[in-house]
Structure 1
């Protein structure tokens, strides 16, 4: 008899679907450029720009970072522009701090940035050989030889 039972469930439509299709790009890793030499105008004269030593150390830190393995040429160019902001900060221009923070966050500078970008360090799993952060023996090492005794809970009801 028609009409008995609940009506069929309507197929749910995802409401947060992306309105624009994703573009897949060919990946090309790029080598880090050197901090460039250039001149700036100071008091009407062109003078050689000198990178602060702290900015040179900061640049080398990015070159050596695990994130840099995934930088393309546009990433390095953006980071190079960011180095100029870093230099401004280390020359005492404190108004550069907010822009610097926003820019380095895009590269995963802090643990919070890396978590937001869903970055993890692969070596962390192998470094402790499954021992966890305590360095003690793993559960498999502690309990690996234990076996269920006959007549235990798992054997009840059999037979």
Structure 2
């Protein structure tokens, strides 16, 4: 299955310093507002002619979840267009056409729908960053953790110094 796996490693962290064969294109990011699920009509192909498409209530709830998700603040206009097309697939699945379920799963994975998807996309929630900041530095020495330690005098040391 193509497209699964971690993204390429940052060139600065690679063991070898081979140059990328294709230069990376840097784009200006413009956050886009989430569109509403559109009202539209479809040709039923029968005697009814054109009928109004009705979004399943479950798809409306699904859309509202994506609009309110933390990932949404990083969506551009093309992301919202792709997710709008995905909403049609979601509606198809909830209307009973389970043959569209694999495509739905692949599409929502691109947006970080599950914990596994977010890990693969290297997404973290801010609470995890705050918890990591409170964690002690790995590999700190006992002296750094507990300060300078002094041994207690043994009974032999007390006898030698004349203390009882």
One fold, TM greater than 0.5? yes
Distance 1:85 1:146 in 2: 59
Distance 2:146 2:92 in 1: 63
Q: Given the alignment of the two structures, is residue 94 of structure 1 paired with residue 98 of structure 2, yes or no? A: yes
The structure carrying a bigger helix percent of its residues is 2
CA 1:129–1:116: 2 relative to 1, 3 Å = closer
What is the aligned-residue RMSD (CA, Å)?
2.8
Aligned residue among 62, 67, 70 for 1:63: 67
Aligned residue among 109, 115, 126 for 1:111: 115
Structure 2, unmatched stretches of 5+, are 1-14, 137-143, 153-164
* Residue 128 of structure 1: how far off its partner (Å): 9.2
Q: Where does residue 39 of structure 2 map in the other structure?
A: 37
Equivalences for residues 1-159 of structure 1 within 5 A: 14=17, 17-42=19-44, 43-44=46-47, 45-126=49-130, 130=134, 146-150=146-150
Q: RCO (CA 8 Å, sep 6+): is it higher in 1 or 2?
A: 2
Structure 1, unmatched stretches of 5+, are 1-11, 133-143, 153-159
Distance 2:21 2:132 in 1: 43
For these two proteins, the number of residue pairs brought into alignment is: 130
Moved over 6 A (4+): none
Q: Where does residue 141 of structure 2 map in the other structure?
A: none
